[in-house]
A = this chain, B = another copy of it.
């Protein structure tokens, strides 16, 4: 059986990185021209200094997960996810959300779907205690085949947080609530071409239940952990999977990790899509939604905090001298290992 990849599902991460680089260059050139400093440009939470504060401006969308959610009547989750993803991202930079703006685009006007999305947006906005200040609802016939749900957030960074791992740190992972909102182009290809139907139960896994799960909200946990100096870096595992942690490593550190057994939905996707496990860790969260690095003397406090706030967590490994790469030993595949 031909193995499926993210590229075959229409998402070429190499081209994607190329576009990302074009954007970074453009942003940097502009900032230099204007004499403005954009802090942490290549990180999770780029910020500028505005009226004496560090202001983070961030944008992210739910992507093609909306195509699955719409099919399964769960568009409220799209609204929730959109705020949760952005809030998790800015909290990785120590930012508290002060304002949210939403962009909901669709091919044809659908009030019922829109209402569901708004309900989810409001629910998550309330959970992060931030107002939605404005929004745009765009009806774009010919351009969209479904609904695109995007959020922009403004956050204020309470204090400096460099978000860099240190040699000797331990790596702690927090459980995800499922796939969150990443890798759905590949998910769709596996389900639609190999399994055939979103309403099936496959090897005991109810696809509908698993694929409509919301994104875990790590926001309060992250802000607390950063405030208490329990962590040196925080990586929200989204597009790019575990490789996103490289941002915290720089060029002179490696992460040596041992991955826990992911929930069964991941195994089903890997099996039916014949997806390489190294590809999987670059596309999916594989059961871990947050990767943290922590000084060894803080690890106990960090694990307790996670537990108090309702998240299962694991010590996954450590940070050593290196070249910016991540080695993952797979506890659940008899010690097989991948480098990403």
Could you tell me which A residues sit within 8 Å of B by CB distance? Answer: 9-12, 15-16, 18-20, 22-23, 26-27, 29-31, 33-34, 36, 38, 46-48, 50-53, 55, 57-61, 63-64, 66-67, 98-103, 105, 107-109, 111, 114-115, 118-119, 121-122, 125-126, 129-146, 148, 150, 152, 154, 156, 185, 188
Contact = CB atoms under 8 A, between A and B. Distances in A.
B148 A145 contact: no
Given A23-B118, A144-B148, 18 more contacts: A10-B107, A10-B108, A10-B142, A16-B109, A16-B137, A22-B114, A23-B137, A26-B118, A50-B99, A51-B52, A51-B156, A57-B134, A58-B134, A59-B103, A59-B135, A105-B148, A105-B150, A152-B152
Nearest to A147: B143
Most buried by B among A34, A107, A144, A146: A144
A140 B185 contact: yes
Number of copies: 2
Contacts of A19: 109, 111, 114, 137
A36 B128 CA distance: 13
B23 A135 contact: yes
Contacts of A61: 103, 105, 136, 138
B55 A53 contact: no
6 nearest A-B pairs in the assembled complex, by CB-CB distance? A10-B141, A152-B152, A15-B109, A57-B133, A36-B131, A26-B118
30 contacts: A10-B141, A11-B109, A11-B141, A12-B109, A12-B139, A16-B137, A16-B139, A18-B111, A19-B109, A19-B137, A20-B137, A22-B115, A23-B118, A27-B131, A27-B133, A27-B134, A27-B135, A29-B122, A30-B122, A30-B126, A30-B131, A51-B52, A55-B99, A55-B154, A59-B103, A64-B141, A64-B143, A141-B185, A142-B188, A143-B145
